[in-house]
Structure formats: structure tokens, C-alpha cells
Structure 1
Amino acid sequence: MSLKATHPPDTPLYPIREVSRLTGVNSVTLRAWERRYGLIRPQRTPKGHRLYAQDDITRIERILQWLNRGVPVSQVADLLDQPETIEAPTPDAGDWASQRQQLQAIIEALDLPKLEAVYHQSLALYPLSVAINELWQPVILTLEAKWAVQADQLVRRTLEAFLRSQVGIRLHYANQATRGPLILLNAMPDDPGPLWVLMSALMASEQGYRVQMLDHSLPLEDLPQAVARLHSSMVLLSSGQRESDSYINQALPKAAEALNVPIGVCGEVARLRENDLRDGPVHMLGDDLPQAIARLRPLLRESGVL
């Protein structure tokens, strides 16, 4: 089948930047879906620029629906022309499990060239929320559970250094390109490393926030000064650990009362401590990082920032 689409002459056509704005799918991903899987077939101008019709945009939205239901991009093409009521394939039919196993093996083998390739490929082929939910977050959870039984500091620190570099580059350019609210993102004291902070920072940046990331825990009593000096609109704390009772039940609520901006908690700690902080001044955002970051906007509206 030809990849060249044709539409009636009077059909409105949109450039890729506008389609990216309308659908939330970045242009790199749109091009990857076209080149690698033939999922979309935009027209081209004489100079080769892509132009998308409304039915292309509708098709992109259907692709997103399948991806958000856990279907890997390699299987979406076979589903696009099926009735909308068809059920998603069972997880065993997908290749997410094999992708997770592959990523974990690459991390544990300290194969940095392959790790870089998988990192960039995952962010090119999938919306960031899907890449984090289906690939990166599950692998980090598996590794942290394994490290809790038998620590492997070399693998942990190597992964942290890799992600710190990759996410840091992304944050640098994203912060320059947006005027969104600044989120001060910090690790909690019992978290042995910044993996959850890095994933949270990546997701927050994708949603248009400027992010100031601190991957070592800042004492709670220093947060008001940090908020004032960095002009932060919100403090977001993250951890993969349960954290101590005194920190969760006493120090954290006290710190929240002293701040003039919202303070939220995400990562595994939000799941483990959901009942402890449910009715207090600290906002529990959950362990699903894309959902947690999506919950920031209502909080910022409520506080008058947006």
C-alpha cells in the first residue's frame, strides 16, 4: 500500500506543529509512527513538509486510545480499522513484557550504548505517559524490589547517572522554551537515589512546567526559603520508600503548613502512605506518575497560580 494519502482539494490541512499541539503527540513521535509503522500517511508539500487532514488527526487519537489501553505500538496497525468496541488484546499478547525484560537486562549489563538507544526509542515511539507507565516505571519498581533484597550500588548509580544526564539535558532546553509554573522537585530523605525524582521531572517537563530538580533531599525547614528564592509555584516530593512515621505524620504536615504554595507527594510513597496523609495539608498525588503530574494543574488553579 502506498503511504501517500489523498484528500479532496477543499480539505483543511494542518502542519505537523499544529497536529502536535492538537493531539499532544510530539513531532518526533508522529514521524516515527509514519516511517517505522505506517500508522499515519500525511500529504506532503512540494518541499516535503507534512500536512495532516482531520481524518489523520482522528486516526492519531485512535492510536493514542490503543496505546493508553496498554497495546504496544507494534500491534496498533492491526487494530485501527477494527470496530471501536473491540477489546484490547490481553497483556500476554503484547510485547511490553519482553521490552521490560530487555530494558532490565540492558541496565543490569551496564550496556550504556544500548540503554541510550532504548531510552530514545521509547520516547520517540510512545507518548511519554505511556513510556513511563508501561516501561520505565515497572522496570524501576522491579529493580528496586530486587535491590532491597540484594543491593547493587554499581547498577543503581550507573542508571541514576545516565538518567540524570538525559533528563537534565531535556529539562535544560524545555525550561528555556516554556513560561509555565516552576515546580520544585525534591527527593525524600529515605529514598536511596533520585530515580523517582527523575521520572517525575521528565513527566512534569512534558506537561509544560518548568522544573527545578533537587536529587538530594533538602531539609523540610529549608523549603520556604527555597520556594522564595527560586520563585517556585509548588513543591513536589517523591520517593520509592515508605519513609519514617515521624517524617510522614509530623514533619511533613508541619512543613506544608509553613509554605505559601501547595506541596504534593508522588511515587511509591504516595501509595504506601495514602491513608496517613489523606486529610491533611499535604496533597497525595499517587504512584502513577502521569496521573500524579496531571493532578498538579487543579492544585495550581486552586492556589491562584493558573
Structure 2
Amino acid sequence: MGYEKKLYAIREISEITGVKPVTLRAWQRRYSLVQPQRTEKGHRLYTDEHIALIGEIQGWLSKGVPIGKVKDVLESNEPNKGEEYLASEQLDEVRAFLQALAELNKGKADSIVATVFKEYPLDVVKKQFVKPTEKALSVVKIGLRALQKGLMESIFVARLNAIIESENKAAKSGKCLFINYDSVNIHARLWALNLSESGKSLVIIDGIEDLSGLVEHEGLCAYAAIAIYSSRPLTAGQTTIVEKVKSSFSGEVLLSDLIDA
């Protein structure tokens, strides 16, 4: 009796590995990584070997190897081949992005951000793209810094909103009301995307300083979860309201790090 390998559709592979379908397609097309089988209609099918390979790729990316160099590392017979690419803690795209921001070149900057989100997992984007970019901008002259940070903010928020809307269409874990104590900002949206990638369909409300209206709100029956974000520790009064929301809501309540600390 022959043994048939288990085959997975691209959405299944995405759920198993945490790598978005758009990223898997980019790895295949641009870098000849993770070549799936195809059905007669052209749909991608993956095997357990592909899952293992994706894990290897994620491991090298998390160590700082650029996606364009990963294939060389995987195919090399040299055991330390990957080490030569580990000197930098930032993606190669950071320098080009900073230059585009300095020139106020929105088109170029937006294109770089789009590419980074397509080709890298979210944790790599945060650690090796967002963080070093913000660090570099922190030492730019104040007047210029405000312009460049503002441009970065608008580009990132627009891109993240688009990704979240796309993820919402494939969400399977119910609706999540995302409440942001802050005004619209990159880090709130990055946390929102993290929740979105876990399968939640997000409804986002920004700039809410008073959550008392949520306590026993009848509309919450449509939601499986509530997520609350703040970039600052809450006041005693705000903490009390959050506790009331948690006790009155039957679903899951998710809190960002500074609230949950």
C-alpha cells in the first residue's frame, strides 16, 4: 500500500507557520524559495518538507540574514555560511528607506515598506526594520525629524490598515473590537496586525480616553474579543474602567504590554 504525502493549501501553511500567503508567494517568485506543487488549476500545495524548510528560513531571518541571501545559505555546504551575513541587526532596506524619508520621497518610501511587509515575517519587520529606522530618526535634526517621522507614520499606518483589511476577509476567529487609547500610530497598528494574523477580524477605534461606555454595552455581544492598546501606563481611573470591562464582557480581553504590566 503506497504512502501518500499530506498536502496543504497555502492558507493552511500560513496558519501552521505564521507566514502570510503573500510572503510565501514573494519568497517563491523573487527568491526561488519554497517551491510548492501545483494542482491542475494552478493552486499551490505544500508538504511537511515545505513546513520544515519554512522553519529554517524563519530561523535565518530572525538571526538577521537578508531574505535575498537565505537561498545561498540553505544550499551551501559550508556549515558557517550564514555567519557572514549576521553582522548587521537591520535589514538592507533600512538605509534606502531613510534616504527616501530624507528626500520626502513618499512613492519610494511606500514601495520599500510594501516590499518589506511582503517578504519578511512581522517580528523581523518590527525588530530589524521599524526599530533601527526609529533609532536613526531619533538623532536627526529636530525640524527635519518631525517631517521624516510624520511621513514614516503616514506610510506605515496606511500600509498596515490595508494589510489588516485584507486579513479581515480571511479571519476565522471571530470579531475583535480594538480600542486604542492613543491617537493613530505605528505601534498600535503593529500590535493590531499581530492580532489580525492570529485570525481575528478587527474593528479599530482610535483615540479613546474613556472606556466607561464599553461597560455592559449591548453591542459587544457581536464580538468574541476586545483588545485594548496604550503606549503609556494607565491612570488609576482608567485601570478601574478596564477591570469593569473585563468583568462585564464574556469574551476574551487582550491588553497591550504597558496595560498588562
Structure 1 unaligned runs (5+)? Answer: 1-7, 271-281, 285-306
1:156 and 2:149 correspond: yes
Q: How has the CA–CA distance of structure 1 residues 45 and 131 changed in structure 2, closer, same or farther, with 3 Å as cutoff? A: same
Q: How has the CA–CA distance of structure 1 residues 27 and 259 changed in structure 2, closer, same or farther, with 3 Å as cutoff? A: closer
- The CA distance in 2 between the partners of 1:56 and 1:234, in whole Å, is 35
- The CA distance in 2 between the partners of 1:71 and 1:121, in whole Å, is 16
Q: Give the drift of 1:97.
A: 5.0
1:177 and 2:170 correspond: yes
- 1:17 is aligned, of 5, 11, 15, to 11
Which residue is 1:62 aligned to?
56
Q: How has the CA–CA distance of structure 1 residues 52 and 26 changed in structure 2, closer, same or farther, with 3 Å as cutoff? A: same
- Contact preservation (8 Å) 2:10, 2:44: yes
User: Residue 151 of structure 2 aligns to a residue in which SS?
Assistant: helix
Amino acid in the other structure paired with 1:79: V
Q: Give the drift of 1:263.
A: 5.9
Amino acid in the other structure paired with 1:186: N
Which residue is 2:188 aligned to?
197
Which residue is 1:236 aligned to?
228
Which stretch shifts more, 96-105 or 61-70?
Answer: 96-105
* Alpha-carbon RMSD: 3.5
TM-score normalised to structure 2 length: 0.76
Which residue is 1:104 aligned to?
98
- 1:121 is aligned, of 115, 139, 145, to 115
Amino acid in the other structure paired with 1:258: K
- 2:242 is aligned, of 228, 240, 256, to 256
Bigger relative contact order (CA 8 A; separation at least 6): 2
- The CA distance in 2 between the partners of 1:227 and 1:78, in whole Å, is 55
Q: How has the CA–CA distance of structure 1 residues 97 and 177 changed in structure 2, closer, same or farther, with 3 Å as cutoff? A: closer
Q: Give the drift of 1:133.
A: 2.2
1:38 and 2:28 correspond: no
User: Residue 79 of structure 1 aligns to a residue in which SS?
Assistant: helix
- The CA distance in 2 between the partners of 1:226 and 1:156, in whole Å, is 39
Q: Percent identity?
A: 26
Q: How many residues align?
A: 252
Q: Give the drift of 1:121.
A: 0.9
Q: Give the drift of 1:248.
A: 4.0
- 1:135 is aligned, of 105, 129, 134, to 129
- Contact preservation (8 Å) 1:37, 1:77: yes
1:224 and 2:189 correspond: no
1:283 and 2:221 correspond: no
Amino acid in the other structure paired with 2:244: A
